[in-house]
Amino acid sequence: MPSLPSLSEMSAREALSFMRRKIQTLTVIYADTQDRITTLLMSGVPQTAAQQARMNDILKQVNREIVVLNQQARAWAGGAAKEAYQKGMDITSQTLSQLGYTGSGVNFGARMHVQAVNVIADQMTADLLTANGSILRNATRFVRSTQQALITEGEINRQIIGGLIEGKTRRDVSKLIERRLMDQIEGGRLLTINGRNYQPRSYAELVARTRTREATSRGTVNATTQAGVDLVQISDHGTDTPICQVYEGKTFSISGGHSDFPQLDRMPPFHPGCWHAILPVIENVLIRRDEYDQAVEASNQDLTEAQKKAKQKAA
């Protein structure tokens, strides 16, 4: 794909790195909680009645950890969503003024922005609370299994039916499951999402990174619309990722109503860890720089199905 000149590489880079500290704050919260819960759970398998009582106490403490973690996650999400979104708006203002745009301005007070931030904060919170719920379930399962020194019949049957374990007695199976659970907890992989085990700290970082980037892109696009501009560009760093190659360096119409440019049907990040950014661009600037035809040609290659459909509808 012929690469378009980057309009504002500095702001693209800035957009991607500025949330680093905020993301770190959440990662540290989860790392600390993870360490405390792992230590609690590994503090001993009960043999006596006194130790059993101690395990119940551990469960209560884990519960308290999760209650606090839920509050922290909610508070973090509210702040991070707003900050990341506003960054997107700032990038829009800066880029538009660099391009010499003198149309309407951008202001955060508008209803559309407040609503958008709330939606993003709710998504972030939901992701984190789901994760926290999984930590609690795994921890409870672990404590119960060590307490009773046996795994539920249902679990054993699932594993046998699933063909995971053959030719072993129920007792062996129970031991094997317990061992697996023990390894998982010992490794700090306290949480399970879609069948995969994660350390809370890495999962929190993944959620924070992905969701704050989404917020920044959303802030950029909404502010661009508010300023009365319809075109945006995706940054270009010569990616090897197929899912990003479809969008990289291209110019899109936010409304989908432009006669030359395809509709923006997705915005970065296109996958976890994606480094692409989105920036506004002015049609007249492209024309003045003699880049318009090249941009139209490049942007209409390898259209997605949604874009093809939108184009047919407009025609």
* Residues at the contact surface with Zn ion, assessed by CB under 5 A: 244, 270, 274, 276
Question: CB-wise, 23 or 31, nearer to Zn ion?
Answer: 23
Question: CB-wise, 258 or 276, nearer to Zn ion?
Answer: 276
Question: CB-wise, 221 or 244, nearer to Zn ion?
Answer: 244
Give least dist CB 293 to Zn ion, A.
Answer: 26
Angle between the N-to-C axes of helices 49-98 and 111-148, in degrees from 0 to 180, rounded to the nearest 10: 160
Give least dist CB 240 to Zn ion, A.
Answer: 10
Question: CB-wise, 189 or 218, nearer to Zn ion?
Answer: 218
Give least dist CB 15 to Zn ion, A.
Answer: 13
Q: Which of 83, 69, 59 is nearest to 34 (CA)?
A: 69
| Cα-based distances in Å from 176 to 6, 41, 190 | 56, 18, 18
Q: What angle do CA 84, 268, 252 make, to 5 degrees?
A: 115
Give least dist CB 16 to Zn ion, A.
Answer: 10
The type of residue at 14 is: E
Give least dist CB 242 to Zn ion, A.
Answer: 10
Question: CB-wise, 109 or 242, nearer to Zn ion?
Answer: 242
Backbone angles phi, psi at 97, to 5 degrees: -70, -35
**Residues forming a β-bridge with 196:** 193
DSSP string, 165-198: S-S--HHHHHHHHHHHHHHHHHTT--EEETTEEE
Question: CB-wise, 223 or 246, nearer to Zn ion?
Answer: 246
Residues 6+ apart with CB under 8 A from 139: 37, 41, 59, 62, 185, 190
Give least dist CB 88 to Zn ion, A.
Answer: 16
Cβ–Cβ < 8 Å for 92, 219: yes
